[in-house]
Structure 1
Amino acid sequence: MSEDPASVFRVEAADLLDQVEQGLLDLGDRLDDMALVDAVFRGLHTLKGSGAMFGFDALAAFTHHCESAFDRVRKGDVPATAELVAVILSARDHMRALVDGTAPSADGEAILQRLAGALASATRDGISPAATAPASALAGWQLFLRLPVDAMRNGTNPLTLLDELRALGDCTVIARADGVPPLSELDPLDCHISWDVTLRGDISREAIEDVFLFVMDDMELRLDPIAAADSPLVQPVSSPPAAATDAAVADQGLAEAPPAARAVGESVRVPAERLDVLMDRVGELVIAQSRLSQLAHQDGGVALRSVAEEVERLSGELRDTMMGLRMVPVASLFGRFRRLVHDLARDTGKAIDLVTEGESTEIDKSVIERLFDPLVHIIRNSCDHGLEGAADRRAAGKNETGMVRLSAHQAGGQVVITIRDDGRGIDRARVRAKAEANGLVQPGQVLSDAELLALIFAPGFSTAAQVTNLSGRGVGMDVVKRTIETLRGTIDVASVDGEGSEITLRIPLTLAIIDGLLVRVGDSRYVLPLAAIEECVELSPEQDRQSEGRSLITLRDRLVPFLRLRELFATGTRPDPFQKIVVVSIGTERVGLVVDQIIGNHQTVIKSMSMLHRDIGSFSGATILGDGNVALILDIGDLVDAARPREERLRAAG
């Protein structure tokens, strides 16, 4: 193999451990759900087997104890309890450390001691497995089994499975070859044989199903119990004659693959780095296509323009396909916070419910990766600072269980993520007192409500009375704000005393390629993200003169402030006779941007600013135009923030 087998296993193990964690969290809410018990058991069983196969012996040995515990739950020997689920969650974290090679052996021994204690306290007597018949009434099982056609290609040895059945009890195996095709059509790697098996003894159904655990989803398996008097409890299903089987295959068409075979290859795991490289190549192609189109329309003939238009169409389709490959649902992000809230509830002693909405909303994978840490800080603050304890919630007339709601939806070219809690809200007096003590504001300084709440993002700011393992060090929210700003996003805070707080993040869908509107201001060209644009209107010379000193325009009975980009950027040029106002919006806020000329739509490949220019406001990046020149991409959020105080002053002036 060209790829390191251990690296392949680590990727697979991470997926298995995530599945086990989600199953355990669900099981914690529904302890009597045997389907969840089975799902967790299968995940542990697969992890143990795969770990042993790839040389992770310590992982396999440790996982075996957890698997055995859940096997006892499956068989009804012990019930699933909250204590058992908590221990297996800790064991899951230790398994992850074993996969990474960073787990102290002492931690594993302590967890196994806790596991033994949880099993001992949960043991109940007189419970027999529900899935098996009484020993006096059951003499064995009659089986029919047919493996997937590609079973041997995937490494399954049918003879080994039959040997495992023989190890369970007295076993008679009869092979059936009625499904074997003619020799001229036979592929020696395909499995066409099925088997009738008579298995006698006091054997549970689960023990038989465990033999086929790795192929259970794709195979055909029928189990009919046999009574002690050797008479089947149910009539066995007779198989169709070979001729009928061949006719059925002929009707379906020999060229059509079985469903199990078709399922293989429907998805391919690709390293994220390869997608990033491919995205860069697509970006370069878009830039080259833009240059080709410009040259074709300047001095090219009809044939060249036709080719340029075809290349533009193909590059646009390739861009959209590539963007689709990078988009992933936020469910992959939201699901990771269930464990966080579960642990926070345990650490704080509070009852907390996490509610998620809009999990199918899609966002660029690179954005999701960078959103995890900011959301962790916000959710931790909501649980620790925002939500009250049970006694305080009862006194306030609230449900004893606090709620944190995590929602997402798409708005134009942005994804809006909201974190809302139903706690006590932000204590504004306490925030102001702490800000004055830290020298962030002067005593008596007039602040709007938005400015006051924004102080929680100041470096080193914390209103916690004491430092705990969860909060109080003043590290976190300032990092949140910086991270969101590096993603070209915005963050807003709202709070109502006694009802809770809401933090809203607005993040671009992607950081790679966007549709933009190319405009000219003075002698320079700029790009506005098309998704943020609401409309474009003309600013006549008369309106321009009337609005001097009062940069407001009335659009459909609503005042909209506007910024003259020519003045903001100090171009030193005279305005065009007929300027244009591009109205942009973020959330409910609108602002107009006065430009000299609207050039047209532009596929914008976003390039990062250099280290020297990264902190300059009003710009979120740059792009290369078709003529090779550079155009700056305007930061809509920063421009809206710049217009907000001006609008407030103008409204106050009447």
Structure 2
Amino acid sequence: MSFEDEMKAALDTFVVESRELLQDMEDGLLGLEHDQNPEDSIGAIFRAAHTIKGSAGLFGLDHIVHFTHVVESLLDMLRNEEIPVSSALIAVLLPCRDHISSLVDGIAVGITEETAEQKNAGAILHEKLREFINGESADYSTEVVTHNEEQNAQASGGGVVDSGNWYLSLRFSKDCLRNGMDPLSFIRYLSTLGDVVNLMTITDGIPAIDDMDAETCYLGFEVVLKSSATKEAIENVFEFVREDSIIRIVPPRSKIDEYIDIINNLPNDDELLGEILIKSGVLTKHELDECLRLQHQRHRLQDGKTKEAPIGEILVKQEMLQEPILNAALQKQQQVKDTKAREKQNIRVDAERLDKLIDLVGELVIAGAGANLRANKSDDMALLEATSEVMRLVEEVRDSALQLRMVPIGTTFSRFQRVVRDVSIELGKDIVLEISGGDTEVDKSVVDKIGDPLMHLVRNSMDHGIESAAIRVARGKPAQGTLRLNAYHESGSIVIEVSDDGGGLNRDKILAKAIEKGLISSGTSLSDKEIYALIFEPGFSTADQVSNLSGRGVGMDVVKRNVTSLRGTIDIDSQIGVGATMRIRMPLTLAIIDGFLVGVGDSSFVIPLDNVIECLELPRTITENDYMDLRGEVLPFIRLRQLYDIRGEVPRRQNVVVVGYAGNKAGLVVDKLMGEFQTVIKPLGKLFQHLQGIGGSTILGSGEVALILSIASMMQQVTRRAQHKPAALQFKADTSKHI
């Protein structure tokens, strides 16, 4: 791979990781106002910005470093509780997050320099940020702090230190005077950095008068310096003597708990003990180098072998470090190692490669079914056992491969926090979003395609469903409206609910508008669910006026079309004055399912196994009715032979496969029950999309094509038929006369 290819791959990784961090940043900002203990969230937001800035610096993306540095400075003040969490602050930080996202998007398409438009947008945002940062100038031409400069500042204990009392312990080299250095000159120079509030001369090393050498330095000093200088600046005062002198500098407010807290809040980006101590401000680069020199000089015997003493042990013995701080740093070091170990267990896989794997597994399933079919015809027991074992392993491979594509839907849900916030402001409503079932897993292909339909439903609920605060209060409701997103598994499907506590759907208004538009004729008898379903018709809208969000009759028909394309259904529950729930049901996966194979005449059909409840024999006394008694319960059924006009002689014994969907039951009358079957779903072409009750096709082991039944569509047929024959489904008292 050439250097250009390697750089492009690295930039692609930067873009992917930055987008993930920006999503985390947005999630943290949206939850900050309502967080009772925001310290962890603030730390996570700060680390996200810091990581993006550092990574951008590695690639020389100075415009990202430039903008993010100011954001990071404000977040650092927030982290240090110098400014409080407020709606105004979040209202500034969210657009900053969006601006960083736009800069990263530019990198994704090869724009590595800041455009004039981006620069102007950044300048405006910087101006708003400066209002929070101690009233500093909003001049966008401030000095750019590059990643390397920041690293150097960190490596030397840099950063602004609050004015306070530094404690210095100085033991000059005996040859200091011979080398032309005056110890008192260093003390005088310290006064240029601050106020020397206390100075104590240490004379313990002065020998008797007869043994004294006039050119030898025997003095030491203990100094208390009040200064706002950095530790690096103070240490640099002694640059010419520090090699052979003992210089100890203890920062102001050097409480053990404070240092431990700083260490605990460091980002998990370095597992070297020395680097952790330097970044926390406990140690300077020079002190670490001195310690490393001592480490190589001093050895201890253990089991007859020489071994270097641990660096932490030397730091404590040299009184450069207190033991509790060392323990905190060691714990942080282990935490970083554990985190990186977990990260190494996860690898990024391109979605196209994963799809290719699923396709190959699907072909393997088909080939395995063919081999198993031929083994059954051979009567070779050894071959049958071998193919059965292969099929078992193929099933495990299939399950493992599909599991790779399963992701929690909570990631999609969390993105709507920002939508709800922004739309609430636009509508002038107070709306809060509640999320549940976020850990429910679904195929990634489903997650990618469900985002737009959910967006329409959420915006529609906020605009049409939830009333204004004044109306809600007048109706005895809380002024704040509630929008809920919920997900759960049900019979091999995922159910996603968008609920609100608004005014509900107006049945009469929907019906009147449908008649006005000619969608139905006057006098047509429809159930509530059928009337509610009219809002999904193209061009349908009950809005009295057009707004930026709705009223043009565009959107809800797109929702239904997209959900249907995912082999899903959508229905509505509503109650006037209480609220409404939009409920989407979709299959967990769009690739491979467990099926139940049945036969009707010469045709084969596959029923999704998750929908199959039981199988039973069709009573011979039933010849014309399309319902039967199932242990005292009315069970409507569909004869597949009649539905698909399948020719051939009807066998003497027919079977009923009882299926369930969305809490309803129905029966499918078939000729043969052929057992479970691993089903690779193949989409139907446009020519066959009009077929009722068909959700796809598959290839059998024999090479023949079998149609996959859509139980959701079958249930709709049963419901429509029941509405036209209401009396037929109301028998309860005496079913024997019908059977």
Query: Structure 2 vs 1, CA of residues 209 and 258 (structure 1 numbering), >3 Å: closer, same or farther?
Result: closer
- The equivalent of 2:235 in structure 1 is 170
- Partner residue of 1:375 out of 454, 467, 470: 454
- The equivalent of 2:700 in structure 1 is 625
Aligned amino acid, residue 600 of structure 1: G
C-alpha contact (below 8 Å) 1:424/1:498 kept by paired residues: yes
SS at match of 2:494: strand
Q: Determine if the alignment matches structure 1 residue 115 to structure 2 residue 129.
A: yes
Q: Determine if the alignment matches structure 1 residue 47 to structure 2 residue 46.
A: no
* Structure 2 Cα separation of the partners of residues 269 and 168 of structure 1: 44
- The equivalent of 2:199 in structure 1 is none
* Structure 2 Cα separation of the partners of residues 18 and 629 of structure 1: 47
* Structure 2 Cα separation of the partners of residues 539 and 82 of structure 1: 66
Q: 311-320 or 62-71: which moved more?
A: 62-71
Aligned amino acid, residue 511 of structure 2: R
- Partner residue of 1:609 out of 684, 695, 702: 684
- Percent identical among aligned pairs is 40
C-alpha contact (below 8 Å) 1:534/1:584 kept by paired residues: yes
SS at match of 2:687: coil
- The equivalent of 1:481 in structure 2 is 560
Residues 225-304 of structure 1: pairs in structure 2 closer than 5 A: 243=302, 259=338, 262-299=341-378, 301-304=380-383
- For the pair shown, the structure with the greater C-alpha radius of gyration is 2
Q: 209-218 or 348-357: which moved more?
A: 209-218
SS at match of 1:632: strand
Residues 111-510 of structure 1: pairs in structure 2 closer than 5 A: 111-117=125-131, 119=133, 135-139=163-167, 167=232, 169-170=234-235, 199-202=249-252, 213=267, 215=269, 221=276, 243=302, 259=338, 262-299=341-378, 301-510=380-589
Query: Structure 2 vs 1, CA of residues 40 and 439 (structure 1 numbering), >3 Å: closer, same or farther?
Result: same
Q: 480-489 or 208-217: which moved more?
A: 208-217
State the Cα distance separating 1:262 from its structure 2 match.
3.9
Aligned amino acid, residue 502 of structure 1: T
- Partner residue of 1:6 out of 4, 8, 11: 11
State the Cα distance separating 1:415 from its structure 2 match.
0.8
Once the two structures are superposed, residues 610-640 of structure 1 have per-residue CA deviations (whole angstroms, 9 ceiling, x without a partner) of 1211232211110000000000101111111
Query: Structure 2 vs 1, CA of residues 326 and 92 (structure 1 numbering), >3 Å: closer, same or farther?
Result: same
- Partner residue of 1:557 out of 614, 626, 632: 632
Aligned amino acid, residue 680 of structure 2: V
Query: Structure 2 vs 1, CA of residues 586 and 218 (structure 1 numbering), >3 Å: closer, same or farther?
Result: farther
* Structure 1 Cα separation of the partners of residues 56 and 343 of structure 2: 23
- The equivalent of 1:178 in structure 2 is none
State the Cα distance separating 1:268 from its structure 2 match.
0.7
* Structure 1 Cα separation of the partners of residues 18 and 339 of structure 2: 23
SS at match of 2:33: helix
- The equivalent of 2:723 in structure 1 is 648
- The equivalent of 2:657 in structure 1 is 582
- Partner residue of 1:94 out of 96, 99, 103: 99
State the Cα distance separating 1:423 from its structure 2 match.
0.5
State the Cα distance separating 1:393 from its structure 2 match.
1.0
Once the two structures are superposed, residues 239-262 of structure 1 have per-residue CA deviations (whole angstroms, 9 ceiling, x without a partner) of x9885998999xxxxxxx974674
Aligned amino acid, residue 170 of structure 1: E
* Structure 2 Cα separation of the partners of residues 554 and 382 of structure 1: 41
* Structure 2 Cα separation of the partners of residues 415 and 600 of structure 1: 25
* Structure 2 Cα separation of the partners of residues 278 and 199 of structure 1: 60
Query: Structure 2 vs 1, CA of residues 218 and 628 (structure 1 numbering), >3 Å: closer, same or farther?
Result: farther
Query: Structure 2 vs 1, CA of residues 304 and 68 (structure 1 numbering), >3 Å: closer, same or farther?
Result: same
Query: Structure 2 vs 1, CA of residues 44 and 525 (structure 1 numbering), >3 Å: closer, same or farther?
Result: same
SS at match of 1:541: coil
SS at match of 1:577: coil
* Structure 2 Cα separation of the partners of residues 627 and 464 of structure 1: 55
Q: 204-213 or 560-569: which moved more?
A: 204-213
* Structure 1 Cα separation of the partners of residues 678 and 233 of structure 2: 66
C-alpha contact (below 8 Å) 1:454/1:493 kept by paired residues: yes
Q: Which runs of 5+ in 2 are unaligned?
A: 138-159, 170-229, 239-245, 284-298, 311-335, 731-739
State the Cα distance separating 1:530 from its structure 2 match.
0.4
- Cα RMSD over matched residues? 3.4
C-alpha contact (below 8 Å) 2:300/2:308 kept by paired residues: no
* Structure 1 Cα separation of the partners of residues 584 and 646 of structure 2: 33
C-alpha contact (below 8 Å) 2:165/2:253 kept by paired residues: no
Once the two structures are superposed, residues 479-534 of structure 1 have per-residue CA deviations (whole angstroms, 9 ceiling, x without a partner) of 11011111111111010000000111111010010000000112100100000111
- The equivalent of 1:193 in structure 2 is none
Query: Structure 2 vs 1, CA of residues 437 and 242 (structure 1 numbering), >3 Å: closer, same or farther?
Result: farther
Aligned length: 579
* Structure 2 Cα separation of the partners of residues 197 and 273 of structure 1: 60
Once the two structures are superposed, residues 137-174 of structure 1 have per-residue CA deviations (whole angstroms, 9 ceiling, x without a partner) of 55489xxxxxxxxxxxxxxxxxxxxxxx974652899x
State the Cα distance separating 1:59 from its structure 2 match.
1.8
Once the two structures are superposed, residues 425-449 of structure 1 have per-residue CA deviations (whole angstroms, 9 ceiling, x without a partner) of 0112221222122221223322221
C-alpha contact (below 8 Å) 2:491/2:661 kept by paired residues: no
Query: Structure 2 vs 1, CA of residues 14 and 168 (structure 1 numbering), >3 Å: closer, same or farther?
Result: farther
* Structure 2 Cα separation of the partners of residues 167 and 650 of structure 1: 89
Once the two structures are superposed, residues 51-79 of structure 1 have per-residue CA deviations (whole angstroms, 9 ceiling, x without a partner) of 12224322221111211221222333322
C-alpha contact (below 8 Å) 2:494/2:586 kept by paired residues: yes
Q: Which runs of 5+ in 1 are unaligned?
A: 124-131, 142-164, 174-195, 227-239, 250-256
* Structure 1 Cα separation of the partners of residues 483 and 307 of structure 2: 59
State the Cα distance separating 1:213 from its structure 2 match.
4.0
* Structure 2 Cα separation of the partners of residues 197 and 326 of structure 1: 58
State the Cα distance separating 1:368 from its structure 2 match.
0.7
C-alpha contact (below 8 Å) 2:615/2:657 kept by paired residues: yes
Query: Structure 2 vs 1, CA of residues 246 and 399 (structure 1 numbering), >3 Å: closer, same or farther?
Result: farther
* Structure 2 Cα separation of the partners of residues 515 and 380 of structure 1: 36
With the length of structure 1 as denominator, give the TM-score of the two structures.
0.82
C-alpha contact (below 8 Å) 1:170/1:199 kept by paired residues: yes
* Structure 2 Cα separation of the partners of residues 248 and 289 of structure 1: 61
C-alpha contact (below 8 Å) 1:140/1:203 kept by paired residues: no
C-alpha contact (below 8 Å) 2:268/2:339 kept by paired residues: no
SS at match of 1:7: helix
C-alpha contact (below 8 Å) 2:168/2:247 kept by paired residues: no
* Structure 2 Cα separation of the partners of residues 511 and 35 of structure 1: 38
Q: Determine if the alignment matches structure 1 residue 15 to structure 2 residue 20.
A: yes
Aligned amino acid, residue 301 of structure 1: D
